[in-house]
Structure 1
């Protein structure tokens, strides 16, 4: 019977010497049962890695109940096979372990399919990463220029056009981020930040973000903020904002008459934690009962023609669900098809006494920043955006087109800060930083260097640390973040003097 079973069945003593093998041994390993009998398993473990070998030895020495492993084996002909090994102890009449009985199964096809899938996923991730970089680079210029135009003196009738330009570019960026987040969720790379933020300001910014859409679609848009909620809270405001924008974007997309109610209400609060319910209610097309669970999956929409009628990637609610999941909460839905939907979630946020977070986060158009900045940026449009911002803030600067040009400038002049693009011709940002850190002049070798790149933080964070960079600024960069960064190093420079 055992000789007709596919795979290998065997027995060993407690030293690992084979005492029985069926005929399947020859087909799987290329070694006959007769040649393997009374020989030790160690004589045949060609290709098994050291950690698995040690686990197997521990199994025999410590009398573990069972053992499962997967290893690569090379037949005498050189052919490679993947083998799944399973072992359990056998006992004598006195209950003492006297050996093992086990099986070996050929899983080569399954393992090679897994390897191919992993390779395909890696290729897909690299493609998405590269494409996001290529898209973010020109998008950086669009968002940057719209910010600059809104900072300048413009005609009243131009305001609406500028707001549309800024909103559209930010919406495109949000779609790109959704695709990148999809990969991050699957690889567990998304991490929570915990910073002080002004909830009222966050809600106001979100309201302004959708005000233009409400007017264009002739919809009412009511925002209700509970006045009892503490002014300053501590949490990941960026991820919270992303969830709320996704929910409101869906509400406006699927609502043609009536309106949307965006409500923020206090559920409970003590000295340490405040629990808040965020809800978005619309009078739109609604979601049928049999689709209500599926719409939280990636690339799934309310109906087969939703994408054609309304656009979108089908990622919005999936992203919301995942972002809320890592914050220990979940997204709830009530909906009737043809009557509208209500999405809501409850979230716990820590209380904060940081009064500085109450201040509105506006950029000064005239307040100068006393700083000398050297920039490495090979993209002319991005360089133009930086030049315009630096001129407005009266920052002293020079811009190099590549790493080698930056080194030539830096060799002759001193700077307070370097903004370093990571991808450049001739000499990239990493190698340029390495040259600077090895300079004999300590004042030059220790200059603060901030990575300036369109790649996501998770893709470059470890590498920028390894090359001793001081921080990271994402492209398309937030104008407020750039202003705060320059102001920080300006203050630090003054304190050093």
Structure 2
């Protein structure tokens, strides 16, 4: 029984006792003014319970005091001789649920008082109803024994419950301690694994750039998968402990969708699943929030959908709901997979749920993804809702509050655009009908969002009919539709109509064709680019068309006690034309800094003798002493939530986690170089 239910159970019994006493008082013609007070008392104690005021400790005393008063009122009447012990037994039993021995002692003391009051009544002369004889004395002694017996039983019950609670608390504390130790172990293991994974990824990337063999791609992909799983372990332990720390940054809304598209292209899609991305053009261009956690939410949702979908496709929808504090960013991931039952959905929020736990399962993963999604969403003030049906599919909706930095719509078309658009897709080509519905929903929502006329056509004849009636300037279609009539569309593309084909990697139109190719998966960015630029549209594969920054001439010192990390970091930095020197300890880094002029120092955290924090502070002190301006960036495998804030608070200028993410590296470098006035982060 919960504490709330226990409190109300006690009140119910006390109320019944009070009502019974009021009835008895009326029937026996006791003081007429007391029953209304008793009823008023019942109303008062229930009002306390319902409102929750005052606090429980005070309410408990009020309930007990009320009980003692009505017992005393009952016991001081002559006619209570036969039932005062019964009333006290009832009171002892009820009040024992409050688990307070002191209250039991007070009730027993009250019974002694009433016991002597009743003896006084018996001893008084002139009382013809009751006489002080052997039978009545024996009855009183029997009542006394019964009350004592009930009292000791209640005390024993209270002590037993206290011991049981203590035992359960100790057991819970032991379990929590074991869980905490295991989570610490997992967190430490994941931290230690980051260093060798950083080496694997870095060295494989070097091999790929040197074109030393296809095996390097397999090594990199395996290393990337391991890096993700290491992150998952850390994220899981933080979610389990409710210790997720938010790291707010400004970000472009389109970067989230670009991340989904790029991840899908990297994942193993041997089942040829379709990915349809529906980005509402009205989503604000720039927002502020924990973009790293948002990226991870997208990744987990996508991997989970891909893992349990055998045929059909995955529909990703992102839109925004305006609120006083900014927006609610809404993310939906719908698949045509195996689905889940209600029990499975309920188990997900508890962590480590997997549809198939057998060792020979083929679905992969370590079963933490959706629990991490729940944890991140809740830590950011959002919520998760799952709708699923066995053998039909699953929809996961994540809603997260975000601040708006730039409320301009993230996608828009040029004012110079005129004409009508045809969406040419054969409905019969999809083995799973829901995929057709996904494409239609995406096309319809996009057309409404940017305010352009869109018409559906399933055949060449329908296209020709629309051309006669409308000013058709654009036709979007799938690869199969083009391959059914390539000559027709090639000829059409040479005229006033722009023809764009969403196709699988490796597809090329026929020689001489003017058809534009939009690599799958189809999403809003290439569509908008084609609408705005027409035949001049280029680089339709990704939203990320920014050129690689040029950090040429920047002198960098990399400090790490792991030699292979120095090799990897040196290889990365030289790709950006930086002048690189290395140090394998904090002491050596200070000596080198005093003897050379460095623009930026990349400092590892955990090193023997002198850790990175102490080395950073000594370098900063040396820079101030020598009137130098230096940027010190933490480059470390310590990547738990809040690590960046911790390092910034210690005095570091920036933070980059291992394994090194190129986008993070470029963003931190551009920001810090601009802030410091070194300003060499141009474009190649």
What is the TM-score of this pair, normalised by structure 1? 0.69
Aligned partner of 1:15 in structure 2 is none
Residue 398, structure 1, aligned to residue 398, structure 2: no
Deviates more, 1:434-443 or 1:182-191: 434-443
Deviations 1:102-139 (A, max 9, x none): 99966875665566445434432332232112211111
User: Do the aligned partners of 2:285 and 2:407 also contact (CA within 8 Å) in 1?
Assistant: no
- SS of aligned partner of 1:292: helix
Deviations 1:461-491 (A, max 9, x none): 6764675333332111212222333333433
User: Do the aligned partners of 1:261 and 1:282 also contact (CA within 8 Å) in 2?
Assistant: yes
Q: Which has the larger radius of gyration?
A: 2
* Equivalent residue runs for 1:417-456 within 5 Å: 417-436=600-619, 439=622, 442-443=625-626, 447-456=630-639
Deviation (angstroms), 1:440: 9.2
* Equivalent residue runs for 1:297-308 within 5 Å: 297-305=350-358, 308=361
CA–CA distance in structure 2, aligned partners of residues 495 and 338 of structure 1? 58
Aligned partner of 1:37 in structure 2 is none
Deviation (angstroms), 1:315: 1.3
User: Do the aligned partners of 1:185 and 1:322 also contact (CA within 8 Å) in 2?
Assistant: yes
Residue 221, structure 1, aligned to residue 275, structure 2: yes
CA–CA distance in structure 2, aligned partners of residues 369 and 488 of structure 1? 16
User: Do the aligned partners of 2:198 and 2:660 also contact (CA within 8 Å) in 1?
Assistant: yes
- SS of aligned partner of 1:419: strand
Aligned partner of 2:188 in structure 1 is 130
CA–CA distance in structure 2, aligned partners of residues 208 and 475 of structure 1? 21
Q: What stretches of structure 2 of length at least 5 have no aligned partner? A: 1-56, 62-98, 111-154, 412-541
Residue 144, structure 1, aligned to residue 202, structure 2: yes
Deviates more, 1:188-197 or 1:305-314: 305-314
Aligned partner of 1:469 in structure 2 is 652
* Equivalent residue runs for 1:380-395 within 5 Å: 380-395=563-578
User: Which of residues 327, 348, 355 in structure 1 aligns to 2:380?
Assistant: 327
Structure (1/2) with the larger helix percentage = 2
Deviation (angstroms), 1:66: 7.6
User: Do the aligned partners of 1:371 and 1:490 also contact (CA within 8 Å) in 2?
Assistant: no
User: Do the aligned partners of 2:284 and 2:407 also contact (CA within 8 Å) in 1?
Assistant: no
User: Do the aligned partners of 2:594 and 2:622 also contact (CA within 8 Å) in 1?
Assistant: no
> How has the CA–CA distance of structure 1 residues 308 and 351 changed in structure 2, closer, same or farther, with 3 Å as cutoff?
same
Deviations 1:214-270 (A, max 9, x none): 64222222222223333333332222221121111111111122222222345x447
CA–CA distance in structure 2, aligned partners of residues 245 and 337 of structure 1? 23
User: Do the aligned partners of 2:202 and 2:568 also contact (CA within 8 Å) in 1?
Assistant: yes
CA–CA distance in structure 2, aligned partners of residues 192 and 183 of structure 1? 15
- SS of aligned partner of 2:362: helix
CA–CA distance in structure 2, aligned partners of residues 296 and 111 of structure 1? 24
User: Which of residues 178, 189, 193 in structure 2 aligns to 1:120?
Assistant: 178
CA–CA distance in structure 2, aligned partners of residues 366 and 163 of structure 1? 24
Deviation (angstroms), 1:400: 0.6
Aligned partner of 1:487 in structure 2 is 670
User: Which of residues 408, 412, 416 in structure 1 aligns to 2:591?
Assistant: 408
User: Do the aligned partners of 2:603 and 2:633 also contact (CA within 8 Å) in 1?
Assistant: yes
Aligned partner of 2:263 in structure 1 is 209
User: Which of residues 248, 260, 264 in structure 1 aligns to 2:302?
Assistant: 248
Deviation (angstroms), 1:162: 6.7
Residue 315, structure 1, aligned to residue 368, structure 2: yes
Aligned length: 405
User: Which of residues 337, 342, 354 in structure 2 aligns to 1:284?
Assistant: 337
* Equivalent residue runs for 1:5-16 within 5 Å: none
Deviation (angstroms), 1:454: 0.6
CA–CA distance in structure 2, aligned partners of residues 304 and 478 of structure 1? 32
CA–CA distance in structure 2, aligned partners of residues 362 and 424 of structure 1? 38
CA–CA distance in structure 2, aligned partners of residues 283 and 446 of structure 1? 56
> How has the CA–CA distance of structure 1 residues 307 and 248 changed in structure 2, closer, same or farther, with 3 Å as cutoff?
farther
CA–CA distance in structure 2, aligned partners of residues 302 and 86 of structure 1? 50
Deviations 1:321-371 (A, max 9, x none): 11112233322222222232222233443332289x999656755723442
User: Do the aligned partners of 2:247 and 2:642 also contact (CA within 8 Å) in 1?
Assistant: no
Q: What stretches of structure 1 of length at least 5 have no aligned partner? A: 1-62, 68-83, 94-101
- SS of aligned partner of 1:397: strand
Aligned partner of 1:170 in structure 2 is 224
Structure (1/2) with the larger strand percentage = 1
Residue 257, structure 1, aligned to residue 299, structure 2: no
- SS of aligned partner of 1:181: helix
> How has the CA–CA distance of structure 1 residues 380 and 271 changed in structure 2, closer, same or farther, with 3 Å as cutoff?
same
User: Do the aligned partners of 1:287 and 1:341 also contact (CA within 8 Å) in 2?
Assistant: yes
CA–CA distance in structure 2, aligned partners of residues 315 and 487 of structure 1? 34
Deviates more, 1:370-379 or 1:433-442: 433-442
User: Do the aligned partners of 1:433 and 1:467 also contact (CA within 8 Å) in 2?
Assistant: no
